[in-house]
Amino acid sequence: MIAYASRTGTRRNLAVLRAAGWRLFVTPVCPRTEGFRYALDNGAWTAHFSRIPWDQDAFLRTVTQLGAGADFLVLPDIVGGGKASLKRSLTWLPYLLGSTRQLLIPVQDGMTVADVTPYIGGNIGIFVGGTTDWKLRTIGQWGALAAQEKCYVHVGRVNTARRIARCHAAGVHSFDGTSVTRFACTLQELDDARRQAALRLYA
């Protein structure tokens, strides 16, 4: 699995991430890649967490600036928005096709496999968002759907070795988290879990 950490400007943290082969998960709040490979978030979670409106203009500027080089781009969504979130993502889908190599549709609480299946495949994959309980309860079905439709699947907010193991069991391609961004000392445990998952895969 590929590991992404939220972007940080702390040199020590960037150095340990670089040495371990992690990538950055960049948001419109600070669209700097620090020379890493990276993926682009849409900024909706940051706005929700900060209780401020989502900045569409900042998102569009970031897509223009960094979209072409991103591993993937997370389509705009509504945190906890269920099918309303899917509607927003699909509204943006035609506009953002061609802006990056891969687009991911965020799945939120209340969304089902049947809701998402018609839109995924090829360069349109799945971003598993939602509340923690819902995410952990449904991660297996999203991994199975991605395998069935031969598309990419990524899981957000993965900050423990146990969750990394859950991602591996579900066949997830990548995950992101903030733990290493804030505390470089947690990298060893999390990266060990990622590497052990890879060893089990190829054993």
Gap between the Cα atoms of 32 and 7, Å rounded: 8
Q: Give the position of tokens 């991660």.
A: 139
Q: What is the largest CA-CA distance in the chain?
A: 47
Question: CB of 174 within 8 A of CB of 1?
Answer: yes
Render pLDDT for 69-104 as a digit per residue (tens, 0 to 9). 999 999 999 988 899 999 999 999 999 999 999 999
Question: CB of 149 within 8 A of CB of 65?
Answer: no
pLDDT above 80 for 144: yes
109 lies in which domain range? Answer: 2-202
Render pLDDT for 30-54 as a digit per residue (tens, 0 to 9). 999 999 999 999 999 888 888 899 9
pTM for this predicted structure: 0.92
Name the token pair of 188.
């060893």
Total number of domains in the chain: 1
pLDDT above 90 for 123: yes
Question: CB of 117 within 8 A of CB of 96?
Answer: no
Mean pLDDT for all residues in the chain: 91
Residue 80: φ, ψ to 5°:
70, 15
Name the token pair of 20.
């371990």
Q: Can you name the residues that pair with 25 across neighbouring β-strands?
A: 6, 39
198 pLDDT band (50/70/90 cuts)? Answer: low
For the domain that residue 149 is a member of, what is the CATH number? 3.20.20.70
